[in-house]
Amino acid sequence: MSNSIEILVENEKDAELRFIGEKVLNNQRLQFDEGVILFEKATLPYVGALANYVREKLHGNKTYFNRNFHIEPTNVCVFSCNFCSYSRIYAHREEGWELSKEQMMHIIQKYDGKPVTEVHIVGGVHPKMNLYFFEDLLKSIKAHRPDLHIKGFTAVELEYMFRKAKLSVEDGMKLLHEAGLDSLPGGGAEIFHAEIREQICADKVDADGWLHIHKTAHNLGMHTNATMLFGHIEKYWHRVDHMERLRQLQDETHGFNTFIPLKFRNGDNDMSNVPESSLIEDMKVYSIARLYLDNFPHLKAYWPMLGRQNAQLSLSFGVNDLDGTIDDTTKIYSMAGSEEQTPALSTAQLVALIKQVKREPVERDTLYNVIKNYAEDDVHELEVNPYYN
C-alpha cells in the first residue's frame, strides 16, 4: 500500500506539480524552472508535505539548536542597504555604538563558566575597525577561551576589511582563520541577482564577491552558512536564481552547513512602504528551499526574526534547526520590527518549544556535532504558548 506522501503526489491534478513531486520522492534534483513552478503553482500543503518528507528522511524528528550569544561590535556602517533598520551612517555615528576590544572581551568574560559553545560576531562596516583590530580581537578571545567557536563576519564585512588592508581574499581569510576565526555566518547574501541588489543594497559586495569569499573559506577547511533575504521586491525566479548559485558552489566545495531564509521585516527602514510577506509565503519559502537545496544538510529558521511560534511551525515545513539561545545579544531584528524585542531563550525553553510540536531537541555545536539529545528529558519550563501545555 502506498504511504500518504505518495498518495498526495499521485492525486495532484496539475501534471507539472505531480512530476516535481515524483522527482522529490525519487531523490532527483529539481531544475531551475521547477523551482519557479513550485513558487507559482504549488499549495502550501503540497510543498510542505514534500519538504517534511525530505526533512524527515534526512534528520527524522531531530531539531538542532545551540547555546550561543552575539557580539555586535558596531552599528556604524559605510554601506546603505535600504532594508537595514539597524545601521547608522558614519556622519551620524554618535547615534550608534562602537565597542572597544575591552568592551567586547567583557562580554566574552560574562560567559565564563557558562556552557555556551559559540559566539556570533556580526555588525556594521565601520571604517576605523580594520582587519588588524579584528585579528587582535580574535586572538584575545581564543587566548581567553580556546574552546569557544567563533563564527564571525559576513562576506560584506570581510570584503571591506580585506580591500582596505590591500590583501587578497585568500591572504585576508588565512590571517583571520589563523587568528581564531572558525566559520562564517551567512549574512550579506540578500538576493544575489544584480537587478535586485542594485535596488536594495547597491554599494556592498556583489554576488560573485560574496560567493568567492565563501569559497575561499571552504578551501581553507572552514564551514559557512548562507542566507537569503526574501519577501520584498524580488520575483520568484530571483529566489530560485539565488538558491541555484548556492547549490552550484556547494556541489564544488561542500562547505555550507546551513541555509537560512530571512524574512524581510519593514520596521523603521527605507523600505517600510514594502509590505511584509504572509506566513503562508514564509512557510512556502522554507519548504521550497528544502526541496531545491538538496546538497545543503541543514535548513534554519532564525527564531528572533520569525518569532517563536512561527519558528515552531516551520519545523513542519522543512526546517530542522532553530539557531540558539541568543541571550538577548542581537538588535538586528528587534530594530526592524520583529515581535521578539529582547530575544533570549533558556535551553529549557528552547527544548520545550521543540517538544511542544513533537520534535526531538538536539543541542549541537556550530559544526553539528551532537552535544546532548533532550528527547528523554522532562522539561517543565513550558511557557512558550500555554495553549499547548
Residues annotated within a binding site for [4Fe-4S] cluster: 77, 81, 84
C-alpha cell recorded at residue 209: 564577491
Contact 266, 275 (CB under 8 A): yes
Report which of 123, 130, 57, 54 is spatially closest to residue 84, judged by C-alpha positions.
123
* CA–CA distance, 389 with 380 (Å, rounded to integer): 10
- Closer by beta carbon to ligand V47, 241 or else 323: 323
Q: How many residues at the interface with ligand SF4, by CB under 6 A?
A: 12
347 belongs to the binding site for ligand V47 (CB under 6 A): no
Residues annotated within the binding site for S-adenosyl-L-methionine are 83, 190
Q: Stretches 31-39, 124-132, 187-195, 377-385: which one binds ligand V47 (CB under 6 A)?
A: 187-195
- Residue positions forming the annotated binding site: 77, 81, 83-84, 190
- Considering the complex, state which of residue 8 and residue 326 has its C-beta at the smaller distance from ligand V47: 326
State in angstroms the smallest separation of the CB of 85 from ligand SF4: 8
Task: Say if residues 74 and 126 touch (Cβ distance below 8 Å).
Answer: yes
Give residue for cell 530571483. 238
* Residue 163 neighbours by CB distance under 10 Å: 15
Kindly state the cell numbers that stand for 122.
556580526
The answer to the question of residue 85 lying near ligand V47 (CB under 6 A) is: yes
Residues 297-320 as b/e (b if ≥16 CB within 10 A, e otherwise) read bbbbbbbbbbbbbbbbbbbbbbbb
The two beta strands, 360-364 and 370-373, are: antiparallel
Task: Give dist(CA 111, CA 120) in Å, integer.
Answer: 13
Pick from ligand V47, ligand SF4, none: which does 153 bind, CB < 5 to 8 A by kind? Answer: none
Residue 260 in contact with ligand V47, rule: CB under 6 A: yes
Nearest-approach distance from CB 351 to ligand SF4, in angstroms: 32
Residues 6+ apart with CB under 8 A from 286: 51, 261, 299, 301, 314, 317, 318, 319
Binding segment (CB under 6 A) for ligand SF4, from list 76-84, 143-151, 310-318, 363-371: 76-84
Distances (CA, A) of 289 to 38, 247, 293, 299, 377: 10, 11, 6, 8, 31
Among positions 36, 125, 285, 306, the unique one binding ligand SF4 when judged by CB under 6 A: 125
Q: Which of 9, 51, 71, 77 binds ligand SF4 (CB under 6 A)?
A: 77
Could you tell me where the DSSP H helices lie in the chain? 4-10, 15-25, 32-41, 44-59, 101-110, 131-144, 155-164, 169-179, 194-200, 207-219, 236-253, 279-292, 303-306, 308-314, 347-356
- Does 250 interact with ligand V47 (rule: CB under 6 A)? no
Q: Which of 42, 47, 84, 293 binds ligand SF4 (CB under 6 A)?
A: 84
**Residue 229 within binding range of ligand V47, rule CB under 6 A:** yes
Binding mask 183-202 for ligand SF4 (x = CB under 6 A): ------------------x-
Residue 185 contact partner, candidates ligand SF4, ligand V47, none, CB within 5 to 8 A by sort of partner: ligand V47
Please identify which residue in 124, 261, 304, 343 interacts with ligand SF4, judged by CB under 6 A: 124
User: Residue 77 binds which entry of ligand V47, ligand SF4, none, with Cβ cut-offs from 5 to 8 Å by kind?
Assistant: ligand SF4
Interface residues with ligand SF4 (CB under 6 A) are: 77, 79-81, 84, 86-87, 124-125, 156, 201, 204
Interface residues with ligand V47 (CB under 6 A) are: 83-85, 122, 154, 185-188, 190, 225, 227, 229, 260, 262, 264-265, 269, 302, 323, 332, 336
